[in-house]
């Protein structure tokens, strides 16, 4: 046997190509956040004047003071507090997370978010208005490798048998496609028959640059959204909500332009009802101030509103 045949026989067998890690499906998130990426682009409009002061007391605790003057929404002072725990599950996730704000009348909004493990998240929301317990909601999310299952209980009353229960399930079918469903059940003596259930189907197709999501319910409702990242500075989103029974449909277009180097941020939107909203935020460096200007005009009703805010801290 010659040397050439010996070397060829001892050469290792070729290794088949393995797909990159990003090619495999991953956790698709929750049904609740299906349209979150698109909706985050729309401006948070306010009317009148607002001053917000943020003060960090330490690495975990922060308080805020908000003064609002408006003819369209409740005016006055609100105190807020935020606590961020030291348990880090990722660079952007720290638990437990406690958020609350209250006005001098005792009206309170409180949120508690905690991770019982790497897969289980619990969210509790409570609202007190006019010295009465207004609403309570508990949500538990279980995140598997390829799916997320959620259970939400709203205003549960086991004695009277009333409340709302919502089940969510979203599973990754491929690297980009996710399918799921939503089941909402409500029990109340005011409802015909004492209870009602609504089933909805959900789907999401997402890449690194865009996300297309939609939900279709058996009650005749349809909700769709589209998100597109155009560049490092510009993002756009389109949302449409349709009620086939009421024969009503509304479409909205939103955008966000973020010029980080100049401390300049613009969010705007326009909908099919000819309502245009815009919010401009400018950081007043080197001071820790941010100036916010917002406006809203409804061409059909010939209405115009303006807001001015100052964020300190």
3-state SS track over 190-204: CCHHHEEEEEEEEEE
Token output for 231: 């560049």
Answer yes or no: are the C-beta atoms of 283 and 294 closer than 8 Å: no
Specify the pLDDT at position 22: 57
Helix (H, G, I), strand (E, B) or coil at 9: helix
Query: What does the pLDDT read at residue 26?
Result: 87
> What CATH architecture is 30-312?
Beta Barrel (2.40)
Longest dimension (CA), the chain: 98
- Can you tell me the distance from the alpha carbon of 104 to that of 87, in angstroms, rounded to the nearest whole number? 33
> Do the beta carbons of residue 288 and residue 312 sit within 8 Å?
yes
pLDDT tens, residue order, the chain (313 aa): 444 444 444 445 554 555 555 566 889 999 999 999 999 999 998 999 999 999 999 989 999 999 999 887 888 999 999 999 988 888 888 999 999 999 998 899 999 999 999 999 999 999 999 888 889 999 999 999 999 999 999 998 888 888 999 999 999 999 999 999 999 999 988 888 888 999 999 999 999 999 999 999 988 899 999 999 999 999 999 999 999 988 899 999 999 999 988 899 999 999 999 999 999 999 998 999 999 999 999 988 889 999 999 999 8
Q: Which two tokens stand for residue 285?
A: 């460096």
Within the chain, how many helices (H) and strands (E) appear? 2, 19
The residue behind tokens 């009703």 is 301
Model pLDDT, residue 7:
43
């Amino acid at each position: 046997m010659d040397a050439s045949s010996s070397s060829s026989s001892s050469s290792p067998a070729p290794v088949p190509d393995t797909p990159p890690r990003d090619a495999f499906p991953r956790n698709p998130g929750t049904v609740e956040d299906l349209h979150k990426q698109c909706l985050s682009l729309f401006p948070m409009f306010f009317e009148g004047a607002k001053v917000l002061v943020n003060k960090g007391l330490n690495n975990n605790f922060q308080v805020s003071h908000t003064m609002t003057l408006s003819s369209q929404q409740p005016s006055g002072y609100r105190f807020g507090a935020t606590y961020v725990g030291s348990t880090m599950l990722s660079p952007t996730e720290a638990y437990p997370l406690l958020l609350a704000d209250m006005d001098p009348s005792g009206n309170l909004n409180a949120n508690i978010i905690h991770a019982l493990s790497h897969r289980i998240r619990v969210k509790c929301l409570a609202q007190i208005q006019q010295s009465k317990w207004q609403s309570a909601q508990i949500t538990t999310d279980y995140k598997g490798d390829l799916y997320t299952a959620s259970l939400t209980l709203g205003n549960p009353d086991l004695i009277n048998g009333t409340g709302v229960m919502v089940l969510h399930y979203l599973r990754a079918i491929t690297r980009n496609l996710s399918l799921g469903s939503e089941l909402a059940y409500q029990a109340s003596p005011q409802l015909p028959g004492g209870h009602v259930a609504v089933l909805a189907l959900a789907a999401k197709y997402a890449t690194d640059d865009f996300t297309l999501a939609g939900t279709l319910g058996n009650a005749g409702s349809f909700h769709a959204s589209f998100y597109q990242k155009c560049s490092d500075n510009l993002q756009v989103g389109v949302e449409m909500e349709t009620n086939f029974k009421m024969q009503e449909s509304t479409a909205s277009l939103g955008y966000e332009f973020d010029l980080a180097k100049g401390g300049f941020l613009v969010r705007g939107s326009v909908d099919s009802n000819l309502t245009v909203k815009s919010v401009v935020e400018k950081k007043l460096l080197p001071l820790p101030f941010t100036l916010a200007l917002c406006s809203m005009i409804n061409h059909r009703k010939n209405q115009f509103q303006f807001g001015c805010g100052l964020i300190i801290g």
